[in-house]
A and B are shown apart, each in its own frame.
Chain A
Amino acid sequence: MSQINRISGGLIDRDKTLNFKFDGRVFEGHPGDTLASALLANGQRLVGRSFKYHRPRGIVTAGSEEPNALVQLRRGAHQEPNTRATETELFEGLEATSQNHRGSLKYDLMAVNDLLSPFLTAGFYYKTFMWPKGFWEKVYEPAIRASAGLGRLSGEPDPDTYDKGFLHCDILIIGGGAAGLSAALTAGRSGARVILAEENFRMGGRLIAETLELGGMSGTEWVTETLAELTAMTNLRFMPRTTVYGAFDHGIYGTLERMTDHLSSNEQKPRQVLWRIYSKRAILCAGATERLIAFGNNDRPGVMLAGATRAYVNRWAVTPGQRIAIFTNNNDGWRTATDLTEKGVEVTAVVDTRDGPARVTPSGASVVMGGRIIDTKGRHGIRSLTLSNGQTIPADCLAVSGGWNPNVHLTCHQGGRPVWRDDIAAFTPGDNLPVGMTVAGAANGSLGLAGALAEGGKAGNVATQDIGYSRSNYTAPKTEEEAVGISAFWYVKESRQRSWLDLQNDVTIKDVQLACQEGFSAVEHMKRYTTLGMATDQGKMANVPALAVLAECTNKSIPDTGTTVFRPPYSPVSIGAFAGRSRGNDFRPYRLTPSHDWAVEQSAVFVETGMWLRARWFPQPGETHWRQHVDREVLQTRKSVGVCDVTTLGKIDIQGRDAPAFLNSVYANAFGKLAVGKVRYGLMLREDGIAMDDGTTARLSEKRFVMTTTTANAVSVFRHLEFCRQCLWPGMDVHVISATEQFAQYSVAGPNSRRLLGRLVDPEFDISNEAFPFMACAEITVCGGTPARLFRISFSGELAYEIAVPTRYGDALIRVLIAAGEPFDVVPYGTEALSVMRIEKGHPAGGELNGQTTAHDLGMGRLLSKSTDYIGNTLRQRPGLNFEDRPTLMGFRPVDRSTNLTAGAHIIAKGKEATMENDEGWISSVASSPTLKYSIGLGFIKRGSRRLGDVIRVVNPLKGEDVEAEIVSPHFFDPDGERLRV
C-alpha cells in the first residue's frame, strides 16, 4: 500500500521519498509531510487509543491542539512519549509506535474498559475502592496506575543536549500567519528590532492551508513574496519551529525553538533551545483553533476538524478519506466542501445545523439543512453516519466545524480573563493583557482574512510608534471577505450514544452533566471532577463546548460560567529544555581550591563541600581503610606538622573609619578594642538571638580588618554584612568585599609548624613566640618577596598558623610548604582529619552551629559582650532561649570504649523508655579519636553542664543501637590550650 490518499498539489517535495515506520510497518512520504499527513496519505486512520476507555482514535487536527494522534517517537534512549504526529516533521528513517494499549493497537485488551463505562463515570473512583482498608495501595491503585498513563519513558538518561539563550527585541511577533506576517511587514519596515516566532516549520499559518486569494495571488504566493521582503531585513529574526509557550512578568516570553527534532540525527547539535525573549512590545497573532461538535460516537477515527481536512488537502496533498461528509454550524463547512470538490474528492453530504437555504452544493452530495448527526458506525474508523431524520450517509471521513476559538492563552498568563463574543460564539482577549501586549487577527476574534491582514499591519505600526519608531506604509492586499456566519451549536441532544467532549481523557456530555448533578457546577470543579481539559492538549478543543454544556446545566450564560485558568506552557515543553546544560557533572559549577591540582597529583580523595571540592584525605601506599589515612594525618600533625588547604573559609575584607564599630555591632563579643596585629575569635548571632556563624577577624591596620567565616556560611554572612551596612547603618563609613577567592590560605599546624614556616618566611619578619604570639597577625613576605598574610590561629589545638597568599601563588605555596616540611615529615591533611581534630578540641562546627542553638547552648555565654549592643542582643534574652532545660553542648564518650557513638543518635536517661517524652538531647558530631583511641562525640543535652560524669544512653533506633555513654567536657584534648601557646 503506498500513499493511496495522496492527491495533486500541495507543499511537499515529491521528488524525494522518505521511508518511515509506524508500529513496525514501513511507509513512504515526502519532505514537507508531517507524520500525520504521511499516515493519512497511506490510509492509516487508526493511530492511537484514548486514555480511559482505550477507544480507537485517529487524527483529528493538523496542529498542536491534537488530542488523539500521540505516538512514541524514536527508539532506545531517544524514545519520546506522547509526541503529536500532527507536529512531527517527517524525516528519513522516522520510527513511531502507537501508545496506551495492551496487545496490538487494533486489538487492545484494555478496551474492556469501554464496555464497563457505565460504571466508570466521572469521579467513580471517589466513591469506591475503600474496602477493605489496606487494598488501595496493594490492589486497586496499582491496577489503576498500570492502566493509566500514555507513553513510556525509556528509563535511560536523555542523550540529547539542550541550550538556553536570551534574546532582546523591540517587538516580538507571535505567530507567522496572515496577521503575524503583516505585523512583521510594518514593524520590520520601521527599522525596529523584530522577532517573528512561528510554531510550525513553515511560515504562513492558514494562508498555506486555504485556497483564499489575496492581491490577485494565492495564499502561498503571497507568503513567498512577503517572506522575500522580510528575510532581506537585517533587523528581523525569523524563528520557525518556535513556540512562545508563556508570557511572564516584565515582557519576558518563554520560548522553545526546536533545532533538530526534524532530523534523523542531530549530529551532536542541541535538540532544542530554550530562549527567554525580553521584548518591549509583543503582538500576539496566534490564530484560532477549531472545535468539534459533540454527537454520538464523534470520536471514531475519520472524524476530523473541517479546517484540518482543508489543510491536509491543500497544504499536504492528502485526502483524509475517499468519501467525505461534512458537519458544520458555520460557513467553513461549505468552504471545505468547495475545496474538496475542486481537488476531485467525493463529498457525500453536507449537514448544516443551521436552517435556511443550502449554499453551492457539490454534485452528488446530499445536503441537510437543520441537520443533526446522532451516531457514527465503524469500529476502527467510521463507515457511515446516521442523522436524526433516520438518514444514513456513507463516509470514511467526517469533517466537522463547530466554530473557532481564538488562541487567547498568552493573553491570560498574567491573570487576564477572556471575554465572550456572541457573534463568533467564542472567547476573545480581555482588556487586562500582559503589559506591552497587543493582539491581532484571529487570536483577537477577527476570523476573516481581510481583518487579519489589516489588524496585523496596524498592530505592527502601533507597537513601533509606541516605542519611538516612525510609521511604515502598508496597504493590506485586497481579498474576498466572508462572514463566519456561525450559529452556536454545541452538541446533538438527540444522540443516545456517548458524545465526546475531551477526546483524550474520554469525557462525555453525560460526564459533565453528572458532575453538575453532583454539585460540581463551578467550572473548576467540573474540570477537576471530570478531568476535562487536563489532557496533553489542555482542552484546546474541548473546553468551550464543555462550558456550553455546563452553562446549560446551571442555567447560566457561558460568560457567567467562565473559563478555567490558562497556564503556561501553551503546548508542552520538555523538561530537558528547561534544565539546559545544568545536569550531570555540570549541574552546578565546581569550585576548586588553589591546591587542587597538587592534591590530584597526591591521589587525594575529594569531597563536595557546598560547591567546593576539598581533599578529604590523602591515601598512602599500603593503607586499605580510610581510618588509616585519617589517623595518620591526625597523629602526624599532632606529633610534628601538617598542612591543610583552608581557602574555602569565607574571607571578607572590611575597611573604613567605622569598621571597629561595625564589627562591634555584628559580632556578639566585643571587637572595638582589638589591637592592630591581633586576631580574635568572633561569634555572630542572627537578629533572633540564635548563633549564626563563627570565625576569626584580624586587624591589619586601624581601618582594615579581615574576617573569616565558616565555609558553609561564607555567602550568607557576606549578604548579612551587606544588609547591615546598607540598610541598618547606612551612615557608617564601612565597606565590605568578599575576598574568598582572592587568597589561597593554608593551615600549618603542629609542634613543628613554626620551624617549617621559618624556612620560607623572609628573614626580616620575626615569627618567634615572643614576637608573634598566639592570636597575632601580620602582613609579611615569603620566598623572597611574595606578599602574604600570617595569622597565628588554631582549629586543631596545636601550635598553628594560617598563611594566605594571592590565589595565583596558591599552587606554588603548597609545593613550597610541603618541600619545606620534608625534614619534619610533614603531612598534608584533609577535611576528615580537620574534623577529627576540631572535635577532639570541642570546637563547634556545622552540626553545632545548626541555626537552632544559642551562645549559651554552645557554652559561649561568657563571651557575650556586656558593654556593647549587637545584633541579636535583644531577642536572645527571650525566656524561651534561656530556660533551664535547654540542651547545652557537652562531650560524650562510650562507657565501653570499644563501642562507637553515632551522630544523630538521641539521648535517653538510663532505665527510661526511648520515647519523645524522655528525649534529652542528641549527638551532633562524632569522631574516632586516634589521639584518645576511642570514639568521642559532641552533643546537646538538657542541663548538660551540671551533669558532668553522669552516664546516659545514646540510642539510635534507626540502626538499633543503644550505647551507654559518659557526659564529659567537650574539650577532650588539651583543655587548657597549652599546646597553642608554645
Chain B
Amino acid sequence: MRNSGFKILTEALTGNKGWKANWRQPTPKSAYDVIIVGAGGHGLATAYYLAKEFDITNVAVLEKGWIGSGNVGRNTTIIRSNYMLPGNEPFYEWSMKLWEGLEQDLNYNVMVSQRGILNLFHNDPQRDTFIRRGNAMRLAGADAVLLDREDVQKMCPFFDFNSSRFPIKGGLLQPRGGTVRHDAVAWGYARKGDELGVDILQNCEVQSFMIEGGVCKGVETTKGSIKAKKVAVCVAGSSGRVMAMAGIRVPIESHVMQAFVSEALKPVIPGVVTFGAGHFYVSQSDKGGLVFGGDIDGYNSYAQRGNLPVVEDVCEGGMAIMPMIGRARILRMWGGTVDMSMDGSPFIDKTHIEGLYFNGGWCYGGFKATPASGWCYAHLLANEKPHEVASEFRLDRFSRGHIIDEKGMGAQPNLH
C-alpha cells in the first residue's frame, strides 16, 4: 500500500477505513535463510536491505518485545557524519547519504530534518582538533563549516556570550547534520521489509543458539526452534548477554545513557547544538520539546534508567550555554543501555562460529548509523565479505592493533 497525500485525502473522505497494518503478525516458519536477532533500527534495516539489495527475502527478524523497543526508540534522534578517522568517516558519510534518500526509498516520512549540527569550541586546542576533523570530513566529501564567535552569535543569539565560565570561541557546523523521527525509522524499515516478504516476529525471544560442531544452525526461541542458514545478532545494549549464549565474550560493556525531553515550547533552537566544555547537547523536536542529553552514567548496568548526578550535570551544561532554558521544565527522563566498545567504534563482522554474525558496539552513536549499518550487515551476510566502508569494523582489530579510537580515549573499562 503506497502512502501519498492523495491516499490521505481519499481515506479522509471514506472514514480512514482503508489503512492496512504496516506489518503482518506471521507465525514463525521452521527455517529461514537468515535470522536477524533484534528488531531495532539496525536489525530491521538489515532485513530490508537483504531483501531489497541482495534479493534474500526468506528472512525473519526476531524481537524479544515490540519492534523498535531498544535504542532506536529512546535515543536523541541526531544524525551527523562529523567523524575524523578514515575507518569511520566514509561509513558515516554514506549513512548520511542513505538518510537523505530514505523517505522516498521507504515511502515513509521519517522526517529527516537537516537543520545542522553545531559543535562549539571554547579554546584554541579544541579549535585545532575541530579543524582537523572538519578537514577530514571535507576530504571525504562531507560538508563542514568552521564558524567564529560572531557566526555562532548570529546563529544562536541565546547562547551565553557574556558571563560564560568557558567562553564560546566558535564552532564546527555540519549543515547536513540534523535529526530524524526515531521511532518512524523502525516502522518505515519494518513496513517495507514486510512488504518484501520479511517475517517480523515480535514477542519472540531468543533463548539459545543451536550450535553444532562449530556451526550455528538456528535459534531456540519462546516461540519454538527456528532453523537458519545464517544467524545475525544485532542487539545493541544486550550484546554481552546474547553473545554469551554462544560462548562469545565481546569487547563491549553495557552502560546507562540517559536522555531528557522538556515540555513543548514554540521553536527556539534551530538545529543540534553541542557544548564543548561540558556534557550537553540539545535539539528541539517538531512537537516543540527540547530533546537533550549528556554523558553516560558511568557504571555498568543493564537497567534502562539512570540516576541524579548525571541529570544534574547535564542540566548544568545546558544552563551554562543557554541560560534561557532555566524556566523550561523537564517532562520526562529515561535511560537506554549502550554497548560501549573498547575503542568507541562498532563491529560488523563474522564470528568464529560459522553461520553466526555480529553487529554491535555502537556506543552512544548507533542511531545515525542505522541505514549504513543495515546495508553493510546485509552485504556481509549476502557476500561473506565486509562492505568497503565498513571494512575496519572487525572483531579482531584489537589483537591486530588496528583500533579506531576517534576520541583518543583508549580502552577504559568501567569508565569510558
A residues with a Cβ closer than 8 A to B are: 51, 78-82, 118-119, 121, 124-131, 133, 136-137, 141, 144-146, 148-158, 160, 162, 164, 246, 248-249, 252, 254, 274, 276, 413-415, 510, 514, 517-520, 522, 524-525, 528-529, 531, 534-536, 538, 565, 567-569, 572-576, 578-580, 582-588, 590, 607-609, 686-690, 692, 846-847, 850-852, 875, 878-882, 902-906, 914-916, 918-919, 922, 924-925, 955-959
> Contact at B128–A149, with CB atoms within 8 Å?
no
Most buried by A among B127, B165, B318: B165
- Nearest Cβ on chain A to B7's Cβ, whole angstroms: 7
B351 within 8 A of A: no
Chain A residues near B94: list those with CB within 8 A.
none
The CA of A126 and the CA of B3, in the complex, are separated in Å by: 8
Chain A residues near B73: list those with CB within 8 A.
524, 528
Chain B residues near A875: list those with CB within 8 A.
401
> Contact at A572–B330, with CB atoms within 8 Å?
yes
B316 within 8 A of A: yes
> Contact at A586–B165, with CB atoms within 8 Å?
yes
What are 14 residue pairs bridging A and B, where the CB atoms are less than 8 Å apart in the complex? A79-B327, A81-B328, A126-B181, A153-B328, A158-B323, A158-B324, A574-B329, A574-B330, A578-B330, A583-B320, A587-B320, A608-B166, A916-B86, A916-B139
Binds A, one of B227-235, B261-269, B362-370: B261-269
Chain A residues near B332: list those with CB within 8 A.
538, 567-569
B114 within 8 A of A: yes
> Contact at A162–B326, with CB atoms within 8 Å?
yes
- Nearest Cβ on chain B to A727's Cβ, whole angstroms: 11
Q: A517-B19, A587-B166, A880-B403 are in contact. Are A144 and B326 (CB under 8 A)?
A: no
Closest residue to B101 on the A side, CB-wise?
A133
Additional A-B contacts beyond A151-B263, A153-B266, A914-B139 (16; CB < 8 A): A51-B264, A82-B265, A156-B324, A157-B326, A249-B307, A274-B312, A414-B305, A525-B66, A573-B329, A576-B319, A608-B166, A608-B277, A850-B129, A851-B405, A905-B132, A924-B128
- Nearest Cβ on chain A to B155's Cβ, whole angstroms: 14
The CA of A814 and the CA of B296, in the complex, are separated in Å by: 42
Choose from A519, A584, A880 the contact partner of B402 (Cβ within 8 Å): A880
Closest residue to A145 on the B side, CB-wise?
B267
1/0 contact string of B163-190 vs chain A (CB within 8 Å): 1111100000000000001011001100
> Contact at B115–A878, with CB atoms within 8 Å?
no
Closest residue to B261 on the A side, CB-wise?
A534
Chain B residues near A51: list those with CB within 8 A.
264, 287
1/0 contact string of B386-404 vs chain A (CB within 8 Å): 0000000000010111110
The CA of A925 and the CA of B132, in the complex, are separated in Å by: 11
> Contact at A133–B104, with CB atoms within 8 Å?
yes
User: B280-326: which residues lie under 8 A (CB-CB) from chain A?
Assistant: 284, 286-288, 303, 305, 307-308, 311-312, 314-320, 323-326
- Nearest Cβ on chain A to B137's Cβ, whole angstroms: 9
> Contact at A925–B128, with CB atoms within 8 Å?
yes
Q: A127-B3, A155-B268, A517-B21 are in contact. Are A579 and B312 (CB under 8 A)?
A: yes
Choose from A567, A607, A687, A922 the contact partner of B333 (Cβ within 8 Å): A567
> Contact at B331–A572, with CB atoms within 8 Å?
yes
The CA of A157 and the CA of B318, in the complex, are separated in Å by: 12
Main secondary structure of the interface of A (DSSP, over half): loop
Chain A residues near B222: list those with CB within 8 A.
none
> Contact at B19–A518, with CB atoms within 8 Å?
yes
> Contact at A881–B401, with CB atoms within 8 Å?
yes
> Contact at A118–B288, with CB atoms within 8 Å?
no
Choose from A145, A915, A958 the contact partner of B286 (Cβ within 8 Å): A145
> Contact at B135–A584, with CB atoms within 8 Å?
no
> Contact at B139–A119, with CB atoms within 8 Å?
no
The CA of A152 and the CA of B319, in the complex, are separated in Å by: 17
> Contact at A607–B128, with CB atoms within 8 Å?
no
Choose from A249, A573, A851 the contact partner of B408 (Cβ within 8 Å): A851
> Contact at B305–A573, with CB atoms within 8 Å?
no
- Nearest Cβ on chain B to A896's Cβ, whole angstroms: 21
The CA of A850 and the CA of B402, in the complex, are separated in Å by: 17
Chain B residues near A689: list those with CB within 8 A.
401
Chain A residues near B328: list those with CB within 8 A.
81, 153, 574-575
> Contact at B318–A152, with CB atoms within 8 Å?
no
> Contact at B264–A575, with CB atoms within 8 Å?
no
The CA of A30 and the CA of B206, in the complex, are separated in Å by: 63
The CA of A603 and the CA of B141, in the complex, are separated in Å by: 46
The CA of A879 and the CA of B113, in the complex, are separated in Å by: 42
- Nearest Cβ on chain B to A151's Cβ, whole angstroms: 6
> Contact at B311–A128, with CB atoms within 8 Å?
no
Q: A583-B323, A882-B401 are in contact. Are A514 and B16 (CB under 8 A)?
A: yes
> Contact at B163–A154, with CB atoms within 8 Å?
no
Chain B residues near A535: list those with CB within 8 A.
264
The CA of A580 and the CA of B125, in the complex, are separated in Å by: 30
Chain A residues near B326: list those with CB within 8 A.
157-158, 160, 162, 574-576, 579, 583
The CA of A124 and the CA of B5, in the complex, are separated in Å by: 9
> Contact at B331–A157, with CB atoms within 8 Å?
no
Chain A residues near B130: list those with CB within 8 A.
904
> Contact at A522–B202, with CB atoms within 8 Å?
yes
Q: A141-B111, A153-B324, A569-B333 are in contact. Are A958 and B21 (CB under 8 A)?
A: no
- Nearest Cβ on chain B to A580's Cβ, whole angstroms: 7
Chain A residues near B319: list those with CB within 8 A.
158, 575-576, 579, 582-583, 587
B31 within 8 A of A: no
Choose from B65, B111, B288 the contact partner of A150 (Cβ within 8 Å): B288
Chain B residues near A924: list those with CB within 8 A.
128, 132
> Contact at B324–A904, with CB atoms within 8 Å?
no
- Nearest Cβ on chain A to B125's Cβ, whole angstroms: 5
Q: A162-B326, A517-B21, A584-B165 are in contact. Are A150 and B401 (CB under 8 A)?
A: no
B136 within 8 A of A: yes
> Contact at A582–B4, with CB atoms within 8 Å?
no
> Contact at B410–A851, with CB atoms within 8 Å?
yes
> Contact at A152–B265, with CB atoms within 8 Å?
yes
- Nearest Cβ on chain B to A423's Cβ, whole angstroms: 29
The CA of A6 and the CA of B45, in the complex, are separated in Å by: 61
User: B106-165: which residues lie under 8 A (CB-CB) from chain A?
Assistant: 107-115, 122-123, 125, 127-136, 138-141, 144-146, 157-158, 160, 163-165
> Contact at B334–A582, with CB atoms within 8 Å?
no
> Contact at A252–B327, with CB atoms within 8 Å?
no
Chain A residues near B20: list those with CB within 8 A.
517-518
B8 within 8 A of A: yes
> Contact at A575–B3, with CB atoms within 8 Å?
no
The CA of A149 and the CA of B263, in the complex, are separated in Å by: 8
The CA of A164 and the CA of B316, in the complex, are separated in Å by: 12
- Nearest Cβ on chain A to B254's Cβ, whole angstroms: 15
Closest residue to B115 on the A side, CB-wise?
A137
Chain A residues near B411: list those with CB within 8 A.
686-688
The CA of A536 and the CA of B317, in the complex, are separated in Å by: 23
Chain A residues near B140: list those with CB within 8 A.
915-916
- Nearest Cβ on chain A to B13's Cβ, whole angstroms: 7
Choose from A587, A687, A878 the contact partner of B164 (Cβ within 8 Å): A587
The CA of A506 and the CA of B133, in the complex, are separated in Å by: 45
- Nearest Cβ on chain A to B81's Cβ, whole angstroms: 12
> Contact at A129–B264, with CB atoms within 8 Å?
no
Chain A residues near B253: list those with CB within 8 A.
none
- Nearest Cβ on chain B to A132's Cβ, whole angstroms: 10
> Contact at A413–B324, with CB atoms within 8 Å?
no
Chain B residues near A879: list those with CB within 8 A.
400-401
> Contact at A958–B128, with CB atoms within 8 Å?
no
The CA of A118 and the CA of B146, in the complex, are separated in Å by: 46
Closest residue to A156 on the B side, CB-wise?
B324
The CA of A536 and the CA of B319, in the complex, are separated in Å by: 21
Closest residue to A531 on the B side, CB-wise?
B287
The CA of A882 and the CA of B402, in the complex, are separated in Å by: 10
> Contact at A916–B111, with CB atoms within 8 Å?
no
Closest residue to A252 on the B side, CB-wise?
B308
> Contact at A82–B263, with CB atoms within 8 Å?
yes
Chain B residues near A152: list those with CB within 8 A.
265-266, 268
> Contact at A958–B145, with CB atoms within 8 Å?
yes
- Nearest Cβ on chain B to A713's Cβ, whole angstroms: 12
